[in-house]
Chains A and B, each alone.
Chain A
Amino acid sequence: MARWPQVRAALLLVHVVAVVLLALPSPHRMKDRARWQGQRTQREIALWAERLQGWGVDTDPKRLEAGLWDAAQQYVGLRETIAEPLSPYVAVAGVVQPWGMFRSPQRRPGELQVEVDDGHGYRLVYVSRSPEHRYLAEQLDHNRFRKIIGRAVRQRPLFDAIAGFVVERAAADFPHARRVRVTMMRFDSLPPERRAAGEEAPRQVHFRREWRR
């Protein structure tokens, strides 16, 4: 029993090492070449390259990306080697550490729209976060559903799954509907001065699915 404080201290040290180590940026995203090519990451790399050039560093987006990629892959290898023995504890305890909240803003966000045509042309019944167009808002605006809608901006199959659900519900809820249209709109967020002038960002169709009775 006299040894228990020592044993406990050792076990708690393992816990501390696990939570500190696993809080370091996740390797899965860093290994994903497609993610690096994403619009958001490319914009950040271009922005940093521009700033570094402004501070006299001899670089451009391509060279900066290559340097960052090499450094990231070395880091990923090291982190995976160290984290491997801790994985059974992490799996049981659930002390996963995806602490990348709000890494970088989505400057080209998505907006989900649902339209119904009762024979007089399409009318909007749902728009993301709209106070006026609230059809299915209780579900679609729930924080867990918004997570999926946010991901569906980048994943067509996820958008199709959402659209399938909306169409099925709308077909039942609007018995006179001839057509239902679900659209993922995208837009470039406006800079503050244009927003202050009362301008609204024009929307472009990103994904769309239409159903006819």
Chain B
Amino acid sequence: MKRAWAWWVELTSRRERGTTLALFRIAVAAVMVTMMLSAMRAGIVDILWVDAAEGGIQSVASGFWLLDLIGGATHRNMWGLVVLTLLFGTAMMLGLGGRWTVLAAVWCYRAVSSAGHGNGGYDAMIFNGAWLLFLAEPTATLSLDARLKSGKWRSDVEVSAWPRYLLILQLLIIYTATGLQKSSASWTFADGFSALYWFLQDPNWQRWDTSWTGSGYPLTQLATAVVWHFEVFAGLLLLVYHVRANPEGKGRWRAWLRRVDCRKIFTAIGLGMHAGIALLMDMGPFSWISMAFYINLWSPEEWEQVGSWVIQLARDRRPGKARAT
């Protein structure tokens, strides 16, 4: 027990550069801002989020303290919250105001999305991600805060690594819990892995015409089997991280896990799954916020390498450079 506690204290005391968290902060804020702009553009703010007493289609009983505190889902309150979410969300994306901007953005977003019946699992993912960003040091780099402090957008200042670890854990919990709750026989061999076929028949989710699914049924079965197994066994990625952190030891599996970077396999399947969902089904920002969590699978050093590679590629492709060579 003592050894386990010492390991936990050591794990939660680790530090690393803030690049990964900064990228995640930008992605979460972008999803929040896009959600609000999309609601404004579609004209649903007054219809769905404002109480029936002021012209909305339903009575709004929020249950979120901020909305109750300011007097409920009135026209003025809801528009005020939407605009504040946009402002704080933009500041969060730019990295201005540290953790307090993150907290303000997510509380305004929670107040808005708690009104009415139109909220979804993606809202909960945004709350979870933003809460951990609030507890972290989210604007240490790639931010206006860094620019104002040091004159540079980027900073090598180290931040706590545990928020990134908890974000990885959150992603794996979401998948495992979702997978285990898929209790319908249609997700399993018991009903021929038919779940995705049936979902694609529901107009509520369809993005396009899905008449092709009749002849493409085997493809939907394959996708169902992949999705269900991927979600149920997602937690095994923790084992991969464990072996990466403790490479010593013997055994065939350990050797294989040392040799093969399973994060790449996990990411390829996961991003493929979410891209497929985004392509075939209209589920709002679900795929985008899910994919944002994948950022945390990679260390700050790995993202910095990707950044250097992209910058180098852009430089190499500049017209002046092409002429010179």
Contact = CB atoms under 8 A, between A and B. Distances in A.
A158 B283 CA distance: 20
In this complex, the member of A102, A149, A150, A189 whose beta carbon has the largest number of chain B beta carbons within 10 angstroms is A102
Contacts of A205: none
Contacts, number: 192
Nearest to B48: A144
Contacts of B283: 143
A148 B166 CA distance: 32
Contacts of A6: 9
Interface residues of A, number: 67
A189 B198 contact: yes
B39 interface: yes
Contacts of B43: 138-139
A103 interface: yes
Contacts of A51: 185, 190-191
Interface in B197-245: 197-199, 201-204, 206-207, 209, 211, 213-215, 217
A24 interface: yes
Interface in A45-86: 47-48, 51
Size bin of chain B's contact surface: 35 or more
A13 B8 contact: yes
A95 B170 CA distance: 10
A201 B211 CA distance: 11
In this complex, the member of A15, A129, A151 whose beta carbon has the largest number of chain B beta carbons within 10 angstroms is A129
A85 to B, nearest CB: 19
B202 A195 contact: no
A201 B106 CA distance: 43
A106 interface: yes
Q: Is the interface of A mostly helix, strand, loop or mixed?
A: helix
In this complex, the member of A24, A107, A128, A190 whose beta carbon has the largest number of chain B beta carbons within 10 angstroms is A107
B128 A44 contact: no
Contacts of A195: 201, 211, 213-214
B44 A198 contact: no
B42 A138 contact: yes
B173 interface: yes
B169 A44 contact: no
Nearest to B42: A142
Contacts of B211: 195, 198
Nearest to A149: B204
Contacts of B191: 47, 51
Nearest to A26: B181
Interface string A6-25: 10110011011001100111
A173 to B, nearest CB: 13
A98 B174 CA distance: 9
Interface stretch (B116-124, B264-272, B308-316): B116-124
A119 interface: no
A143 B38 CA distance: 10
A139 B201 contact: no
Given A24-B177, A147-B119, A192 B47 contact: no
A67 to B, nearest CB: 14
Interface in A75-119: 91, 93-107, 109-111
A61 B169 CA distance: 37
Interface string B36-62: 001101111001100010000110000
Given A19-B170, A47-B191, A51-B185, A145 B12 contact: no
Contacts of B106: 94
Interface string A169-192: 000000000000000000001101
Contact of A102 (B13, B176, B195, B215): B195
Contacts of B12: 5, 8-9, 12
A161 interface: yes
Interface string A127-161: 01101000000110111111111110000001001
In this complex, the member of B38, B118, B120 whose beta carbon has the largest number of chain A beta carbons within 10 angstroms is B118
A148 B199 CA distance: 17
Contacts of A131: 209
Across chains A and B, which 6 residue pairs bring their CB atoms closest together, nearest first? A195-B214, A143-B284, A196-B214, A104-B184, A105-B198, A144-B118
22 contacts: A15-B166, A16-B169, A23-B177, A24-B177, A94-B124, A96-B124, A99-B177, A100-B178, A100-B181, A101-B121, A102-B195, A105-B198, A109-B203, A110-B203, A141-B282, A142-B42, A144-B119, A147-B120, A151-B117, A162-B57, A164-B57, A195-B214
Given A15-B166, A19-B169, A98-B124, 4 more contacts: A96-B124, A138-B43, A148-B58, A165-B47
